[in-house]
Chain A
Amino acid sequence: MIEFPILTMLVLVPVIGSVLVALISKRYPDLVKVTALVTSVLTAGMSIWLLAAFKTNNADFQFASQHEWIKAWGISWHLGVDGISIFLVVLTGVLFPLVIVGIDPHHDHKRYLSWMLLLEAGVMGSFISLDLFLFFVFFEIVLVPMYFLIGGWGYDNRVYAATKFFLFTMIGSAFMLVGIIATAVLAKADNGHVTFDLIKIAENASFAASTGRWLFFAFAIAFAVKVPLFPLHTWLPDAHTQAPTGGSVILAGVLLKMGTYGLLRFGVFLFPEAAVWARPLFLTLAVAGIIWGAIAATMQTDLKRLVAYSSVAHLGFIVLGTFALTATAITGGVMQMVNHGISTGALFILVGMIYDRRHTREISKLRGLQKVAPIFAAVFTVVMLSSIGVPGLNGFVGEFMVLIGSFGTARWWVVVATTGVILAALYLLWAYQRVFHGEPDEDNKSFAELKWKEGMLLLPFIGLIVFCGLYPKPMIDRIQPSVDKLLQHVSQHSDFKVPAPAEPVISNGGEG
């Protein structure tokens, strides 16, 4: 019996959905919506099933499937998930139906939904590709729907933002394309034949140090733009602010993670020696991003821009953890990828709701909302506290693991990065005070309370925020083995020795 090709289906179902939505006549708007809903829910269901069937304490790629594609060049349809990608796959699977059902694009539903589903396929594919060429194809596919989503359903300055987003990422990708081809060609000597297979190259290739570093940088630039890493971040605030709410949620929730994920999978894994060599640079840029993003966020006058800059800061923590190269730090970084997707996604949804009611995102025009909409304010508060990183909520776990894990290998960077925790409280609470506290003026008096439908959309987010904060163990147990394996790979292929904290002395009192 042939095994059900679950990973292939995760990519194919949204593609089919996208094509169907595009083909159905505009005269049946309900059919369009139902098709989009069914395909995205189906994908979500499959991703959750994948999680359930995923073997804990197994570091290998699971559900792998490989089919020859372009034999002459050694390109194959090679998919697989491991601990590092599984939760990103699930997050993608779950986030899309929520966005598709819960957030109204206001016009041209058919085209919007078609692009959305294509976007989902691209993101999914990026997270499960184990072939450099295939990965590149998915990584690039993502640009197109996102470009049209921002340009077609965004706000006033959407064309500028969409173009900037496209060009910025495109230029980064150009480097990566060169890097991919060069890697495959140069690795021929070690593989015996040209192949684009990630695992084969990573395990067999032995690049000269300088070659490896050049190749690493070719990849890293593309990912640094995507993350975005300071100082390549300025496309993000524009893209976020101008994108429709659904686009922002997806952008912050999963798209940026393609960058941090890429750094791990196609940076550290593929070029361990170069990654170790480039550590100081990336650690510094990561910490600079944490501080710079937080300070810039503080001074924003537009609520959505503020959240966008907060992403720059939060993603800095992930890069810090990635290049600290300890098991706890990288695991924390992967946790943070998922948790940031949940809490920032929810923040964008909330900001979108404010815009729908008040038709402005200017902080100075909002005031006293807590008095007129206490439940809305309460939900906002929970999400905000998660973003600030209050322990007990999800935002804390990843951030804490990154910091405590990085302390062993990047002490001074951590000392500075931790001040980002102070700044996070400053920019969010200050914004909250201006928007929610005080007496509401005439314009804000009629601000509507959270509606049932909106509450239903936010409920899964709140649930995940609390659950992942209180019981992160199931996630960590699935992520950590793959991270350990990755670090083993790094220490085998470079002179880097992963440090471990001291062994705890067995305590004499209590049963511990």
Chain B
Amino acid sequence: MLDVVWLIPALPLAGFLCILLFGRKLGDPKAGYFATAMVAGSFVVTLGVFFDLLSKTAEERHHVKTLFQWVPLGSAHIDLAFLADPLSITMCLFVTGIGSLIHLYAIGYMHGDPRFSKFFLYLNLFAFSMLMLVLGSNMLVTFLGWEGVGTCSYFLISFWHEKDSAATAGKKAFVTNRVGDWGFMMAMFFAFWAVGSLDYSAINGAAASLSVTTATAIALFAFIGACGKSAQLPLYLWLPDAMEGPTPVSALIHAATMVTAGVYLMCRISPILNVASSYAPTIIAIVGAATALYAACVAVAQNDIKKVLAYSTVSQLGYMFLAVGSGAYTAAIFHMVTHAFFKALLFLGAGSVIHGMHHEQDMRRMGALRKLMPITAATFIIGWLAIAGVPPFAGFWSKDDILLAAYDKNIVLWVVGLVTALLTAFYMTRQVIMVFYGEARWHDAHEEHGAAGDLGVSAHGDLEPHESPWMMVTPLVVLAGLSIVGGGLNLPFKESTERLALWLEPVVGVHTSTTAKLPLALVAIAVGLVGIAGAYAVYYFKKVKPVEPKILADAWGYDRAVSAFMGGPGRKAFDGVAWADAHLIDGAVNGSGELVRGAAGQVRKLQTGNVRNYAAAIGASVVLLLVWFVVIRGLL
């Protein structure tokens, strides 16, 4: 079974090719079902590989399947090869599992879109790239997937490319990611010259013999790459804008799978990180904690239902890097998995709301939707409890693991993590109340809008939110179930219940802690409940006036500052280069041309055709030569 690991990415690739050729014929909704089937098939294959791995001893859970030599580099060569081990298969399981649910959901969500089949074309290509990313047995295959998901993300964010904001957001995502890719490439170059190979097994195997400087360089450059892909400070900018894409895209790419690639990469090269200079993991932990807090603050003041979730994603990814920096790789992966469950659920729930509200995204125009969209509301509430850290939902367990590791690393990091947890509980409660509770605000909002021509609005202009069709609701229910029980993957009670840690141990090692877990867990629960209670007081009982400062709504003004810099001095500098090219460099060229022409013009005037002038010139020259020889050279 292990040898068919190549089928995992091959099926979505086949789906992509088929839709490329026959997509228009298949049409809406057949193209969607076909694409879903391909990813689901991939999930089945992954399950097979998973059980095969499970049946082996821990040491044997490492299988490389080489397809062909891709780029020969002298004596070393880079193969197109896949690595099946506990880490990659864990990633594949949730990528294909959640991927097929979201594909299914998208059939309902994208129904009626004129570019329906094209959407699934990109979605399959994305699934393929993502699977290449996680299955690659060397850094270059991962990079192939890495850039592939970036490209698909670009296509999908600007899917509705007639909208200028969508087109701009897509471009911004790609270019910002490329800044990170620079770091990824640097990491590859360092690794290649130090190790002579880009294979993970060779790099990680050589970790112990690497110099500390080299290991630090590889780790930190890879982290720059991770910051781009996983939307960490200072490169997170593209992710909130990425919400311009259709909601299934936000759920799949910008919450559950692609944005976790950076965390995956760091875990994949964790042996390097372990031998790097100690400031390297500290930097990672600080960036992670800072991003978590930063984005959580911003999420408190957002009114767009998807923007809240976008900043929440940035914040949760920060948690994962906090875990990586604290050396708790299992906790990072654990949170990645549970986050994939509940954040995909929340995004799909938000999509269902947006669908039901006929493309309204402003939470101030929602309210009381739980009666009209009961399943969406119920599942969304489960997602909320999971992310808010309420036991026994999934998020509680994984977040608790991270906080424990942060506590071991440095108490300040732990406090930042706790404050973030409080804010998370607060803004998610705020969102749930604004969307599903309180009074219905969509009627007046609609009149105020006067959007009579809007699709799905009846002739009288009444907007009636409705529950979504089955293919959209089913994924919600499944994901809600996973959000409830997901914590069971890694329960901290005794060693044998820490299944994920045991499973991943051959790849990322173990993180041992002697800190008493229970008191920390109780503090975390208390903090979460305070956050929830606070939000209830403000938004449900309206006892306290909401504090939503403009600076937070503006995301601390960072995005604006960067845009202002790019549009101002940055653009001027670029213009300066173009000007210098046209006027200085080319000016010098044309200038010397003019000079030659001018000089030639002057010289031409000497050619008068007048014999007396020539005779005079000859005479004068003879005299001058005589003077030269006689007076200066001293002849005679």
Which residue on A lies nearest to B209, using beta carbons? A505
Among A405, A415, A422: residue with most chain B CB under 10 A = A422
Q: Which of A291-318 contact B (CB under 8 A)?
A: 292, 295-296, 298-300
Binary flags per residue of B581-593, CB closer than 8 Å to A gives 1, else 0: 1000110010001
A480 and B74 contacting across the interface, CB-CB below 8 Å: yes
- Judge if B489 is at the interface, Cβ distance under 8 Å: no
Give CA–CA (A476, B201) in the complex, Å: 25
B185 and A385 contacting across the interface, CB-CB below 8 Å: no
Give CA–CA (A87, B206) in the complex, Å: 38
B72 and A476 contacting across the interface, CB-CB below 8 Å: yes
B193 and A504 contacting across the interface, CB-CB below 8 Å: no
Given B162, B164, B174, B185, which contacts A418 in the complex, CB threshold below 8 Å? B185
Question: Which residues of B are found within 8 Å of A210, using beta-carbon distances?
Answer: none
Given A299, A403, A476, which contacts B574 in the complex, CB threshold below 8 Å? A299
Give CA–CA (A370, B160) in the complex, Å: 11
- Nearest Cβ on chain B to A425's Cβ, whole angstroms: 5
Question: Which residues of A are found within 8 Å of B181, using beta-carbon distances?
Answer: 421-422
Which residue on A lies nearest to B118, using beta carbons? A374
- Nearest Cβ on chain B to A179's Cβ, whole angstroms: 21
Question: Which residues of B are found within 8 Å of A471, using beta-carbon distances?
Answer: 68, 70
Q: Which of A491-506 contact B (CB under 8 A)?
A: 500-505
Q: Which of B571-608 contact A (CB under 8 A)?
A: 574-575, 577-578, 581, 585-586, 589, 593
Known: A403-B189, A418-B185, A508-B201. A296 touches B581 (CB 8 A): yes
Give CA–CA (A368, B170) in the complex, Å: 15
Give CA–CA (A504, B193) in the complex, Å: 10
B205 and A234 contacting across the interface, CB-CB below 8 Å: no
Question: Which residues of A are found within 8 Å of B188, using beta-carbon distances?
Answer: 404
B201 and A433 contacting across the interface, CB-CB below 8 Å: no
- Judge if B617 is at the interface, Cβ distance under 8 Å: no
Which residue on B lies nearest to A430, using beta carbons? B171
B197 and A504 contacting across the interface, CB-CB below 8 Å: yes
Known: A296-B577, A296-B581, A429-B175. A407 touches B63 (CB 8 A): no
Question: Which residues of B are found within 8 Å of A472, using beta-carbon distances?
Answer: 70-71
Binary flags per residue of B176-188, CB closer than 8 Å to A gives 1, else 0: 0011011001101
Q: Among B140-148, B335-343, B373-381, which stretch is in contact with chain A?
A: B140-148
- Judge if B192 is at the interface, Cβ distance under 8 Å: yes
Binary flags per residue of B554-575, CB closer than 8 Å to A gives 1, else 0: 0000000000000000000011
Which residue on A lies nearest to B173, using beta carbons? A429
Q: Which of A384-398 contact B (CB under 8 A)?
A: 385, 390-392, 396-397
A234 and B74 contacting across the interface, CB-CB below 8 Å: no
B201 and A415 contacting across the interface, CB-CB below 8 Å: no
Question: Which residues of A are found within 8 Å of B72, using beta-carbon distances?
Answer: 473, 476-477, 480
- Judge if B196 is at the interface, Cβ distance under 8 Å: yes
Question: Which residues of B are found within 8 Å of A419, using beta-carbon distances?
Answer: 182
B199 and A504 contacting across the interface, CB-CB below 8 Å: yes
- Judge if B151 is at the interface, Cβ distance under 8 Å: yes
- Judge if B195 is at the interface, Cβ distance under 8 Å: yes
Given A504, A509, A510, which contacts B76 in the complex, CB threshold below 8 Å? A504
Q: Among A68-76, A100-108, A436-444, which stretch is in contact with chain B?
A: A436-444
Question: Which residues of B are found within 8 Å of A426, using beta-carbon distances?
Answer: 175, 178
Question: Which residues of B are found within 8 Å of A292, using beta-carbon distances?
Answer: 577, 581
Which residue on B lies nearest to A405, using beta carbons? B73
B589 and A505 contacting across the interface, CB-CB below 8 Å: no
Give CA–CA (A410, B49) in the complex, Å: 43
The B interface is mostly helix, strand or loop, or mixed, namely helix
Give CA–CA (A432, B171) in the complex, Å: 9
- Judge if A511 is at the interface, Cβ distance under 8 Å: yes
A438 and B167 contacting across the interface, CB-CB below 8 Å: yes
Question: Which residues of A are found within 8 Å of B175, using beta-carbon distances?
Answer: 422, 425-426, 429
B197 and A296 contacting across the interface, CB-CB below 8 Å: no
Known: A437-B167, A505-B205. A422 touches B193 (CB 8 A): no
Among A231, A397, A437: residue with most chain B CB under 10 A = A437
Binary flags per residue of A429-464, CB closer than 8 Å to B gives 1, else 0: 110110011110000000000000000000000000
B193 and A512 contacting across the interface, CB-CB below 8 Å: no
Binary flags per residue of A74-114, CB closer than 8 Å to B gives 1, else 0: 00000000000000000000000000000000000000000
The A interface is mostly helix, strand or loop, or mixed, namely helix
Give CA–CA (A295, B199) in the complex, Å: 35
- Nearest Cβ on chain B to A394's Cβ, whole angstroms: 12
B64 and A510 contacting across the interface, CB-CB below 8 Å: yes
Known: A418-B182, A433-B171, A509-B62. A401 touches B73 (CB 8 A): yes
Which residue on A lies nearest to B194, using beta carbons? A502
Question: Which residues of B are found within 8 Å of A511, using beta-carbon distances?
Answer: 64, 66
Binary flags per residue of A165-181, CB closer than 8 Å to B gives 1, else 0: 00110000000000000
- Judge if A45 is at the interface, Cβ distance under 8 Å: no
- Judge if B161 is at the interface, Cβ distance under 8 Å: yes
Question: Which residues of B are found within 8 Å of A390, using beta-carbon distances?
Answer: 147-148, 151
- Judge if A347 is at the interface, Cβ distance under 8 Å: no
Known: A168-B589, A437-B167. A500 touches B148 (CB 8 A): no
A415 and B589 contacting across the interface, CB-CB below 8 Å: no
- Judge if A408 is at the interface, Cβ distance under 8 Å: yes
Which residue on B lies nearest to A335, using beta carbons? B71
Question: Which residues of A are found within 8 Å of B68, using beta-carbon distances?
Answer: 471, 473
Which residue on A lies nearest to B85, using beta carbons? A509
A234 and B589 contacting across the interface, CB-CB below 8 Å: yes
Known: A422-B175, A472-B71. A509 touches B578 (CB 8 A): no
B174 and A500 contacting across the interface, CB-CB below 8 Å: no
Give CA–CA (A436, B155) in the complex, Å: 13
B161 and A438 contacting across the interface, CB-CB below 8 Å: yes
A507 and B202 contacting across the interface, CB-CB below 8 Å: yes
A505 and B195 contacting across the interface, CB-CB below 8 Å: yes
A391 and B206 contacting across the interface, CB-CB below 8 Å: no
Which residue on B lies nearest to A397, using beta carbons? B71
B575 and A299 contacting across the interface, CB-CB below 8 Å: yes
Give CA–CA (A323, B75) in the complex, Å: 21
Which residue on B lies nearest to A436, using beta carbons? B161
B74 and A295 contacting across the interface, CB-CB below 8 Å: no
Question: Which residues of B are found within 8 Å of A439, using beta-carbon distances?
Answer: 162
Question: Which residues of B are found within 8 Å of A433, using beta-carbon distances?
Answer: 158, 167-168, 170-171
Given A231, A328, A407, A502, which contacts B585 in the complex, CB threshold below 8 Å? A231
Give CA–CA (A409, B182) in the complex, Å: 19
Question: Which residues of B are found within 8 Å of A473, using beta-carbon distances?
Answer: 68-72
Give CA–CA (A439, B147) in the complex, Å: 28
- Judge if A327 is at the interface, Cβ distance under 8 Å: yes
Known: A507-B199, A507-B202. A400 touches B71 (CB 8 A): yes
A501 and B196 contacting across the interface, CB-CB below 8 Å: yes
B586 and A512 contacting across the interface, CB-CB below 8 Å: no
- Judge if B405 is at the interface, Cβ distance under 8 Å: no
Give CA–CA (A470, B581) in the complex, Å: 37
- Judge if A358 is at the interface, Cβ distance under 8 Å: no
Question: Which residues of B are found within 8 Å of A233, using beta-carbon distances?
Answer: 585
Question: Which residues of A are found within 8 Å of B593, using beta-carbon distances?
Answer: 164, 167
- Judge if B83 is at the interface, Cβ distance under 8 Å: yes
Q: Which of B40-80 contact A (CB under 8 A)?
A: 62-64, 66, 68-76
- Nearest Cβ on chain B to A370's Cβ, whole angstroms: 6
Give CA–CA (A168, B588) in the complex, Å: 12
B178 and A392 contacting across the interface, CB-CB below 8 Å: no
- Judge if A371 is at the interface, Cβ distance under 8 Å: yes
A408 and B193 contacting across the interface, CB-CB below 8 Å: yes
Known: A295-B578, A407-B193, A511-B64. A437 touches B158 (CB 8 A): yes
- Nearest Cβ on chain A to B87's Cβ, whole angstroms: 13
Q: List 15 A-B contacts (CB under 8 A).
A: A231-B585, A233-B585, A234-B586, A296-B581, A371-B161, A385-B151, A404-B188, A407-B189, A414-B189, A500-B74, A500-B75, A501-B74, A505-B197, A505-B205, A510-B62
Task: Sort A-B residue pairs by CB-CB distance and give the 7 closest, nearest first.
Answer: A510-B64, A504-B197, A437-B167, A507-B201, A299-B578, A234-B586, A407-B189
Given contacts A298-B578, A429-B154, list 13 more A-B pairs with CB under 8 A. A231-B585, A371-B162, A407-B190, A421-B185, A422-B182, A437-B161, A470-B70, A501-B194, A504-B197, A507-B205, A508-B201, A508-B205, A510-B64
